[in-house]
Amino acid sequence: MCPDRVGLDALKSFAESEVKYVFRTWGCLVICAALWGCADLGQRGVEHDRADGRVVPLEPASDAWNRVVGNLLQTPEENDPWQPFPLPGKRFAAFELVESPSGPVLSVQADRSVSILRQRISGTGVGPTTNLIDFSWKVDGLPEGAKLSESDREDSPVRVLLSFDGDRGNWSARNHRLSEMSRLLTGEELPYATLMYVWSNHDAPETVVVNPRTDRIRKVVVESGAAQVGHWRKYRRDIRADFVRAFGEEPGPLRAVALMTDTDNTRTRLRAWYGPLVLGAR
């Protein structure tokens, strides 16, 4: 193998290692969008929960899908539609609209997979005054062996992600490298800060877990352990208070919100449901 090829392979390996979590976290990337057309976003035939199970026959990302999902996941007006994004090299499990006793909800059958549904916040974004978020979810199991503080076991059955803009002037050199690699490989910089609400296998509720690859991603545990598996859980969170507690600073403009279910590291299988989400000051 020629020296140039050795150098390119080494650079590729390093870059893939550095941006792995960026891919897994947002999946909103140019490469992902290019692969979207090859993914089976309309998979069917999975056995559903009796109470939350009949598939709503709407094509993902169609106008009808966008209307129903937009009513289910409510954010400030004039934002982009919610979009599913498969990740390169990762198994993708589709988000499905299914009927529940209270109306349509989103469901995903995770199987050693990563599922992300994201909406960009347009214009100036949502500032600190729009600081409340309500959301709900249900799972039928937890990813066995998952641990949020370890990059090779960092799975969670359900997540709500919020990304914020801010001044990158005080970033570490490592975070700048991560952001630049993300931009070069995907067309998007690493968000200034990402706040996640997660269901943890073991961490106590209200624990803040710093991502092992970058301190610009921090997770607030809102549910822990298996006691509530199989039950709908509802939450109201003060985004500003959680951001200040997690990052020690005021949040900047909100740029995106996402749902994420991932079991790829633990290679496990489970089903998750997402109910209504409402973002906005009330």
Instruction: Specify the pLDDT at position 51.
Output: 63
Amino acid at 99: E
Phi, psi of 4 (to 5 degrees): -60, -40
Instruction: Specify the pLDDT at position 240.
Output: 92
Q: Count CB neighbours of 100 within 10 A.
A: 17
- DSSP assignment of 56-91, as one string? P---TTSHHHHHHHHHHEE-SSS-PPPEE-PPTTSB
Q: Residue 19: pLDDT above 70?
A: no
Q: Could you tell me which of 221, 259, 273, 229 has the C-alpha nearest to residue 97?
A: 273
Q: Residue 248: pLDDT above 80?
A: yes
Name the average pLDDT for the chain. Answer: 80
Phi, psi of 3 (to 5 degrees): -60, -40
Mean pLDDT over residues 265-280, rounded?
94
Cβ contacts of residue 56 below 8 Å, gap of 6+? Answer: 68, 96, 97, 98, 99, 104
C-alpha 92, offset from chain centre: 13
Alpha-carbon radius of gyration of the chain: 18
Q: Count CB neighbours of 16 within 10 A.
A: 14
Instruction: Specify the pLDDT at position 212.
Output: 84
* Residue written as token pair 């709900």: 136
Which element (helix H / strand E) includes 132? strand 132-139
Residue 203 class from Cβ within 10 Å (0-12 exposed, 13-18 middle, 19+ buried)?
buried
Q: Residue 83: pLDDT above 60?
A: yes
The residue segments making up the domain with residue 29 are 3-279
Q: Are 133 and 239 in contact (CB under 8 A)?
A: yes
Domain of 244, CATH number, reads 2.60.120.260
pLDDT in tens, 123-176: 555 555 568 999 999 999 999 999 988 888 989 999 999 999 998 888 889 889
Domains identified in the chain, total number: 1
What is the reported pTM? 0.80
Residue 101 class from Cβ within 10 Å (0-12 exposed, 13-18 middle, 19+ buried)?
exposed
Determine the length of the chain. 282
The bridge status of strand 103-111 relative to strand 95-100 is: antiparallel
Q: How confident is the model at residue 46 (pLDDT cuts 50, 70, 90)?
A: very low
Sign, CA torsion 197/46/31/23? positive
Percent of the chain with pLDDT over 90: 49
pLDDT in tens, 204-230: 999 999 998 889 999 999 999 999 999
Beta bridge partners of 104: 99
Instruction: Specify the pLDDT at position 14.
Output: 42
pLDDT in tens, 60-81: 778 898 999 999 999 886 678 9
Q: Are 274 and 116 in contact (CB under 8 A)?
A: no
Instruction: Specify the pLDDT at position 78.
Output: 66
Q: Residue 33: pLDDT above 70?
A: no
pLDDT in tens, 194-204: 999 999 999 99
Mean pLDDT over residues 34-53, rounded?
37
